[in-house]
Structure formats: C-alpha cells, structure tokens
Structure 1
Amino acid sequence: MKEEITTILKRNSLSVTASREKILTLFLNQDGALSHSDIEKKAGEKFDRVTVYRTLQTFSEKGIIHTIPTADNAVLYALCKDNCSQGHHHDHHVHFICDKCAQTFCLDNVVTPELKLPQGYSTNHIEVVAKGICKKCRK
C-alpha cells in the first residue's frame, strides 16, 4: 500500500509527508466517506486539526478526494475513483446514506442522471443522495 500512496502523491505533484501518507491510508482502507473529526480521531494525536484540514483541502484541489455535503451542512470526504484531476472532479455518482449505521458510501457504478433544464439554466454540479439500509447492515 505504501507504494500505491507514493504513486498517488507523486502523480499529483505532492511531496510525500507523514500526514499525507496517514490520511491517504485512511481513505484507501475505508469503504465509506469520512468526516473531518473521523479523520482526526483515526490519525491520532500526531497531527493537529490545521494539518488535517490543509491536507484534505490539498487532496480535494488535486482531485484525490471529493466532498459530500450533508443535510446538517457538514462535509464528508471520500476517495475519488474516477479520473479526477486538479480542478476537474468527475465524481458523477450517487451517494448512499445508511439509515442504520449512518455511514455514507459512494456508489461509483450508479451515475447521476442527465438533467434537461429549462432554457437559461445551467448546472455546475449535480448531487443525488439515496437513503436506505446498506449491505453490511442488511445482513
């Protein structure tokens, strides 16, 4: 996994630092999205809040992760799996929120539908959120 992390960072012209390695490892080992506080807790006391914030901001700008707004105006972060790059996110997929465990998942194979808007309207971003029971909780 260390090699994969180094490859991702170098491909995005980022130096390999302990905080970037740790945070990227968290995303690679996670099925669902993570909140800032989740990342702080899982990263341990080694990294302060500002370091985590700056790392997330950099990863988002470089197209390594994408943000998922929540109903309570918080933000979750998830690893980009599409061909995202700096300034060009291509995460046109559905996000699924489990009613039981409250985890948010990216459904990469379920793309957002194309919208036919009235003349004069244009979209910059489309978000589709589905809610229900995830496959882990259904068992």
Structure 2
Amino acid sequence: MKKEIDNKLNLKNIKPTAMRQLVLQVLTEQKTAISLPELEQKFEKADKATLYRTLKTFQENKLIHSIEDGSGSLRYALCQDNCKCAPEDLHVHFLCTKCNQTFCLNDIPVPTINLPNRFSLESVNMVVKGICSNCKK
C-alpha cells in the first residue's frame, strides 16, 4: 500500500513526506468527504497547520478537491485518477441530512452552465441534499 501511496503522490509531483503519506492513506480509506476537524481527530498529535498545508498542497496539485456542502466547513475528497479539476470534470455531491456525510457522486456530472457573453466559468458547486442509502436502511 505504501508504494501505491507514493506512486499517487509522485504522479501529482508531490514529494512523499511521512505526513503526506499518512494523510493520503486516510483519504484513500474514506468512503465520504472529510473535513479538516475530522482529519485532525485522526491525527491528534499532528500540528493543525501541517495538516492544513498538506490538504492545500494536495488540492493545488489536483490530488483532492474541496466541497462546500453547506455544512459550514469545507470537506475534502480524492479526485479520480484522470481528474484535472476542470469544469468538465466536476461531479455532483450529496449531503445526507441525517448523518451529515458528504458523498462524491462521480458518475453524475454537473449540468452544463451556459453563461452570458463575457462571463467565464471557473468553478461549479452542486450539492444535492437528502438521505443516503445507509440511513435509509
């Protein structure tokens, strides 16, 4: 697994440090997007600034993306391997109103937005809210 983690980092031109390896390992194991406070709980002894800088480095190098799901804090999730975080790569996110987990719906692209002339699209954030399949059981 360590080799796979290092390969992911190297493919995105990110130097594999111990903290980056550990954070990527946690993000890889996540089934839902994670907030910085949730990540901090998994690394109780780690410096908060280091965790934040690690997430920013991952985001700048398009290894992860951030989600504003309306919960009040950004959440982070791994990008798909071929993602460039361009508008055409964007997908819908789902916020469960029961468990407050945010899911990437990678197979559902964000609808095309036809902007007026002289407007340029930089990002789109589409969050659908409801009850996830785990909470429906």
Q: TM over 0.5, yes or no?
A: yes
Q: Partner residue of 2:54?
A: 55
SS state at 1:101 partner: coil
TM-score by length of 2: 0.90
Partner of 1:15: 15
Unmatched segments (≥5 aa) in structure 1 = none
Residues in 2 aligned to 1:14 and 1:122: alpha-carbon distance in whole angstroms: 30
Partner of 2:63: 64
Q: What is the match of residue 85 of structure 2?
A: 89
Aligned-pair CA distance for 1:72: 5.1
Match of 1:74 in 2: 73
Where do 5+ consecutive residues of structure 2 fail to align? Answer: none
Most deviating of 5-14 and 115-124: 115-124
Query: What is the TM-score with the length of structure 1 in the denominator?
Result: 0.89
The corresponding residue for 2:112 is: 114
2:125 — aligned with what? 127
Query: Does the 8 A contact of 1:27 with 1:79 survive in 2?
Result: yes
Measured after TM superposition, the shift of residue 28 of structure 1 is 0.5
For the 8 Å contact 1:92–1:126, the answer to whether it is kept is: yes
Bigger relative CO (Cα 8 Å, ≥ 6 apart): 2
